[in-house]
Chain A
Amino acid sequence: MRRAPLSRRSPLTGTLAAAVAALSALSLLTACSTERKKDPDAPEPGTVRVLASSELGDMTPVLDQVRKDTGLTVRPTYMGTLDAVDLLAKGKADSRFDAVWLSSNAYLRLRPDAAKKVVSETPVMSSPVAIGVKTQTVNSLGWQPDHVTWSQVEKAVADGRLTYGMTDPARSNSGFSTLISVASALSGAQSALTDADVAKATPRLKEFFRGQKLTSGSSGWLASAYTRRGNVDALLNYESVLKGIPGLTVIRPTDGVVTADYPLSSLAASDATARADVRRLADDLRTDAVQRLITERTHRRPVVASVRPAAGLDTSRRRELPFPGSRSVADGLLDSYENELRRPSRTVYVLDTSGSMEGDRLSRLKKALTDLTGDFREREEVTLMPFGSEVKSARTHVVSPSDPQRGLAAIRKDTRSLEADGETAIYTSLEKAYDHLATDSDTFTSIVLMTDGENTTGDDAGDFDAFYRGLGAARRDIPVFPILFGDSDRAELAHIADLTGGRLFDAQQGSLDGAFEEIRGYQ
């Protein structure tokens, strides 16, 4: 059952460039504060510029050791698999990076135009997809952690006895591998997934994903949201991530897992010096000492036989579920997940259209929102709530599977008619957004707050805190994702994010398009 590629990614150029620029700027700050103003993408002797999976953020102590061993500094730019593969395929990684280091090259291999950019691949470590379950839930389900199947997980979900969180497969490596694992296992496929397997498994998968109560663009936020919520029973992620979260029993289902093997890959476009550096990096990463450090510090498994996995990593074997062999199967599965299998998202966009937005800022907002309509999923419910001195309007649109273009066109029309005037009533408008959201709907519900200034009228921060604390438990689970833009106040917005369990996004360093796009992973 193929559909029009509704939720295929919006043009990547702007958002990727923004993300890369922002991240490079960050790493530049930490890496070489003496040389500001320099092009952050420029090659530098002794520095290996790596396009990396965000999961590799935990490798800092290992990379410190590698620097001592080799004198090489790794400068990572984190990105989801699909974006990274797209960047490679379009040739945009060629001069900006010396190596690609994703959790797996399986998806990359399905794109010949990206695969041919890679010369050599050196697997560095491995980690299987697993499910981390609250120990108390494991007990109440009567599970023996060594003998749990995906079908049992599915049954627990269907019986309403298990809820879980996972990362967004379109934006995170771990989410993508998790989706493949679950789909392969529940389809009953005996070998690599086919379109027919996915179609057959759709009803079961739908049921399975009803249990997903948390979604996230990154593993880090998923873990903190899980801890904060307290009412989610489990997380699906790589074993290495789950082992780092206290209180979880980590289960590798016996009917199979997909394993990430983290190949450090050099690029065909690099010059000989850069490639020699990547090779030295790869060699050092596979020494016994570094392999030991990797497994002890990151809970991943070593790839050399002479180093044992760290204590607590069970070595009994699991079937390796094959990764789909064609792009159509992988993309088709992703497409079904976004538009059909997962719970839909329900979002209120609280948009500052006060007087200070007049001119360039308002046009940037309009452009960013219009671009974003290319990324909305089927069944998604979107409310635009522009505000100045007060909320100006609240119009809700649904992207209906039968006629998605109608809802999207309506969002674009409303966007075009936004006008800048009035003061900035951030808190009062946020309160209206909470009032607007019903809590009985089966959706991922969140609020996005975009403002270019400080609160000037209406309720103040204290009033909002009191309002939030007075909400029922279900509404308190709705996070606000504020976007730092123009002259908005970081401390003010960070407080809102902390209070509501959201996350702050920065469109001062990066672009507004980039921030809206990144938030998609959390909706």
Chain B
Amino acid sequence: MRRIAGIVLAVLLIGGVVAAVVAGREHGDKGTATKTVHIVIGSEKAEFFADPDVVKALAAKGYTVQAETSGSWAMEGLDLKGYDVAFPSSQAPAAELAAKYKVRGTLPRPFYSPLVVVAHRGAAEVLAGNGLATLDAKNRGTLRMAAYLDAARHDRTWQQLKGAAKYGELTGTLYISSTDPETSNSGALYLAAASYVADGGRVVSSDADIARTAPLLHKLVSVQGAQQSSSDANFRDFVSGAGNPLVLVYESQVASLLGQQRDPGDLVVLYPDTTVNSDHTVVPLTENGRGLAELLGTDPVLRKLAVRHGFRPQGDTAEFTAAAAGHTAYLKQQLTGVRQAPVPTSKVLHELARRARG
């Protein structure tokens, strides 16, 4: 059956090429023929590409996008033949993909989003009451990374924190749930931020740096047990009331939920005082892919839609600031005061992830 389908498809394709050529001759080249673009994306962008308005905006420019999700670091292991674009959630995996598929030129980075930690109100208050966080709005605060890492280093449990006894679910080791750093971007960036703070505000680069930070990173990961492979899954669990009290997600996931006027419950967004932005980076693999990549960063309609899905477009910050105005109880309009940890090279990051998991 499949083989027959394959043959039929091949015939159709050949026929299609002929038809296209014929059609091209007949109608002249008006440039509006729809180009179907196959794209593999990090899970956090799935809703963006599924949004009917995004579909419409892309169609207006002649694109039909078929998107599929994958862990950003897992894209390296995929056979991307037949895909036009890979769109991982940060620069490092994008750079690796570009090298692998010999993509030249600057890789467009249409939008970005910082990593944040979501907690339910009770957990956030306990953290604040114990000097691990500060709360500066009803549903917004800052996670003090150095204090958190110190607690992790000492295997601090929730039971040891003042005020935790009120909440039955707050028992066991205090930790942030992340995704698998070996396959997923947010998990890897978590290690980037943690290693930067743990090493006294330095980017891990040498073997000695790796050796020094590895034990703590291993602890951060091993306490979690089996990790989710996508930040979407982690956030879903959180929203459905399951999962760990502290979950590392992208700000965009929260902003998107708020933008849809969906009730976020008693969710609190904690911005780590040192975090990492995920720079969603496009790797065009074909000519059509390059066209799409260009469009994502420059088309005003698509930029606006990116904001609707919680992303911060590169360059001008006005669009996000305006959109977040109604949600300042949860979101920071500007990321002033949030330190950006530089990300180690992908070789180093891979090694950190490997040691953390091992």
Contact = CB atoms under 8 A, between A and B. Distances in A.
B240 interface: yes
Interface stretch (A37-45, A230-238, A441-449): A37-45
A302 interface: yes
Contact of B226 (A106, A121, A283): A106
B348 interface: no
A259 B243 contact: yes
Contact of A42 (B2, B120, B224): B2
Given A259-B237, A261-B233, A263-B233, A322 B226 contact: yes
B-side binding surface: helix, strand, loop or mixed?
Answer: loop
A191 B177 CA distance: 12
A303 interface: yes
Interface stretch (A66-74, A122-130, A221-229): A122-130
Interface in A276-329: 276, 279, 283, 301-306, 309, 315-325
A263 B43 CA distance: 13
Interface in B216-242: 221-230, 232-233, 236-237, 239-242
A178 B43 CA distance: 29
Interface residues of B, number: 57
Interface in A109-155: 109-110, 115-116, 118-123, 125-126, 128
A120 B230 contact: yes
A322 to B, nearest CB: 3
A230 to B, nearest CB: 33
B180 interface: yes
Given A95-B2, A120-B69, A316 B168 contact: yes
B1 A190 contact: no
Interface residues of A, number: 57
A171 interface: no
A320 B243 contact: yes
A193 interface: yes
Contacts of A110: 226
Interface in B1-53: 1-2, 5, 38, 43, 46, 50
B97 to A, nearest CB: 16
A193 B224 CA distance: 9
Interface string B64-92: 00111110001001110010000000000
Contact of B265 (A42, A109, A305, A321): A305
Given A272-B66, A322-B225, A325-B225, A121 B233 contact: yes
Interface in A38-56: 38-39, 42-44
A275 interface: yes
B70 A119 contact: yes
17 contacts: A119-B69, A121-B233, A122-B232, A191-B224, A259-B237, A305-B257, A305-B265, A306-B260, A309-B241, A315-B241, A318-B168, A318-B169, A320-B242, A320-B243, A322-B224, A325-B222, A325-B225
Interface of B: 1-2, 5, 38, 43, 46, 50, 66-70, 74, 77-79, 82, 120, 155, 157, 167-173, 175, 180, 183, 221-230, 232-233, 236-237, 239-245, 257, 260, 262-265
Interface of A: 38-39, 42-44, 95, 105-107, 109-110, 115-116, 118-123, 125-126, 128, 190-193, 254-256, 259, 261, 263, 266, 268, 272, 275-276, 279, 283, 301-306, 309, 315-325
